[in-house]
Structure 1
Amino acid sequence: MISPVRVIVVGAGCRGEIYSKFATIHPERVQVVGVADPRKFARSKLQQQHKIVDENIFDDWHRIADREKFADAVLVCTPDHLHKEPAVAFAKKGYHILLEKPMATTAEDCRAIVEACTQSGVILSVGHVLRYDPVTRKIKELIDAGAIGDVIHIQHLEPVGFYHFAHSFVRGNWRNEAESSFVLLAKSCHDIDLIHDWAGARRCVKLSSFGSLSHFRKDKKPPGAADRCLDCSVEKDCPYSACKIYLDRVKQVVHMEFEGGLTASFSMVAFTKEMCKRKTTIYGSMGELSYNGHEVSVFDFVTQRTTKHTGQDNAPNHFGMSGHGGADYHLMDAFISAVANNDPSLIRSGPEETLLSHLLVFQAERSRLEGRVVYCDEMMQS
Structure 2
Amino acid sequence: MPLQFKPPLCHRSPSLKSHDHRLPEIMGDATALNDGGAVTIAIIGCGQRGKAYAEYALCEPSKCKVVAMAEPRPNTCALFAQTHAIDGTLVFRDWRDLHKASAETLKTVGHRLADVVVVAVQDSMHLEVVEAFAKQGYHILCEKPMATSLKDIVKMETAVKKAGIIFGMGHVLRYSPYSKAITEIVRSGALGELINAVHVEPIGYYHFAHSYVRGSWAQQTESSFSLMTKSCHDIDLLCNWFAPATPARISSFGSLKHFRKASKPAAAGDAQQCLDCNYERECPYSAKKIYLDPVSRHDKGWPASTIIDGIPDLENIHEALKKGPYGRCVYESTNDVCDNQVVNLEFSNGSTASFTMVAFTSLICERQSRLHFTHGEIVGDMSTFTVTDFRTKVSTLHTPRLEGGGHGGGDLGLIRTFVDAVRAGKQEMVGTNIDEVVRSHLTVFAAESSRKEGRVVDCLEYEKGVREEFGHSAEDSG
Tell me the TM-score normalized by structure 2: 0.76
Identify the residue that residue 247 of structure 1 maps to in structure 2: 292
CA distance in 1, matches of 2:355, 2:403: 31
Letter in 1 for 2:184: E
CA distance in 1, matches of 2:292, 2:145: 31
Between 35-44 and 153-162, the greater mean CA deviation after superposition: 35-44
TM-aligned CA deviation for residue 64 of structure 1: 2.2
CA distance in 1, matches of 2:443, 2:365: 21
Identify the residue that residue 365 of structure 1 maps to in structure 2: 448
Identify the residue that residue 324 of structure 1 maps to in structure 2: 407
CA distance in 2, matches of 1:364, 1:195: 14
Identify the residue that residue 231 of structure 1 maps to in structure 2: 276
Letter in 1 for 2:429: L
Letter in 2 for 1:380: K
Tell me if 1:55 matches 2:89.
yes
Identify the residue that residue 41 of structure 1 maps to in structure 2: 75
| Mapping 1:128-143, distance limit 5 Å | 128-143=171-186
Identify the residue that residue 161 of structure 1 maps to in structure 2: 204
**Offset from partner CA, 1:258-313 (integer Å, 9 cap, x none):** 112101100011101111110111111111111133312122122222122233x4
SS in 2 for 1:179: coil
Identify the residue that residue 272 of structure 1 maps to in structure 2: 361
Between 295-304 and 77-86, the greater mean CA deviation after superposition: 295-304
Q: Number of matched residues?
A: 376
SS in 1 for 2:377: strand
TM-aligned CA deviation for residue 194 of structure 1: 0.6
Between 290-299 and 98-107, the greater mean CA deviation after superposition: 290-299
Identify the residue that residue 328 of structure 2 maps to in structure 1: none
Q: Which runs of 4+ in 1 moved over 3 A?
A: none
Overall identity of the aligned pairs, in %: 44
Identify the residue that residue 11 of structure 2 maps to in structure 1: none
RMSD value, Cα? 1.4
TM-aligned CA deviation for residue 42 of structure 1: 2.1
SS in 1 for 2:213: helix
Rg: which structure is higher?
Answer: 2
**Where in structure 1 are there 5+ consecutive unaligned residues?**
none
CA distance in 2, matches of 1:152, 1:29: 40
| Mapping 1:1-382, distance limit 5 Å | 1-66=35-100, 67=103, 68=106, 69-225=112-268, 226-248=271-293, 250-311=339-400, 313=401, 316-318=402-404, 322-377=405-460, 378-382=462-466
SS in 2 for 1:209: strand
Between 223-232 and 61-70, the greater mean CA deviation after superposition: 61-70
**Offset from partner CA, 1:48-89 (integer Å, 9 cap, x none):** 112222221222212222223221110100001110000111
**8 Å contact kept, 2:383–2:408:** no
CA distance in 2, matches of 1:232, 1:29: 51
**Offset from partner CA, 1:21-46 (integer Å, 9 cap, x none):** 22122222212111112222222222
TM-aligned CA deviation for residue 317 of structure 1: 4.6
**8 Å contact kept, 1:132–1:348:** no
Between 189-198 and 43-52, the greater mean CA deviation after superposition: 43-52
**Offset from partner CA, 1:332-362 (integer Å, 9 cap, x none):** 1111111111121220222111111111011
**8 Å contact kept, 2:179–2:382:** no
CA distance in 2, matches of 1:306, 1:146: 17
More strand by share: 1
**8 Å contact kept, 1:75–1:97:** yes
CA distance in 2, matches of 1:356, 1:205: 11
SS in 2 for 1:75: strand
Letter in 1 for 2:378: L
CA distance in 2, matches of 1:361, 1:257: 13
CA distance in 2, matches of 1:260, 1:126: 26
**8 Å contact kept, 2:382–2:408:** no
